[in-house]
Amino acid sequence: GENVEQHPSTLSVQEGDSAVIKCTYSDSASNYFPWYKQELGKRPQLIIDIRSNVGEKKDQRIAVTLNKTAKHFSLHITETQPEDSAVYFCAARWEYGNKLVFGAGTILRVKS
């Protein structure tokens, strides 16, 4: 089955700096990679996603890059703000079915 590793487990940045979270996956057949943000006590919510036929996708201050050869993908947040503080999860779709395998999560703290 699929396995997703996520690093770092915690990340502290100064407000205005950039943050990068990295994930690797094991199943070369995976073709969809979403990122979820979970604020304290809330449900996970999708913030951006990328398909395997695309190398990069941007949405305002967030971007995701995908390297299929190396089987890794990354989340980039620029000009971080205190409201970006949350837990971020990467995920990869299994080859079969509408199933996702999640990374262990990254706690992002933005210090003002």
Partner 1 sequence: DAGITQSPRHKVTETGTPVTLRCHQTENHRYMYWYRQDPGHGLRLIHYSYGVKDTDKGEVSDGYSVSRSKTEDFLLTLESATSSQTSVYFCAISESKVSLAGYNEQFFGPGTRLTVL
72 touches partner 1 (CB under 8 A): no
- The residue assigned the tokens 């990069």 is 56
How many CB atoms are closer than 10 A to CB 23?
Answer: 26
Stretch that binds partner 1, among 13-21, 59-67, 73-81, 92-100 (CB under 8 A): 92-100
Q: Which residue lies nearer to partner 1 by CB, 24 or 93?
A: 93
Residues 1, 14, 70, 83: which binds partner 1 (CB under 8 A)?
1
What is the enclosing helix (H) or strand (E) of 64?
A: strand 62-67
104 touches partner 1 (CB under 8 A): yes
Nearest to 91 by CA among 99, 79, 100: 100
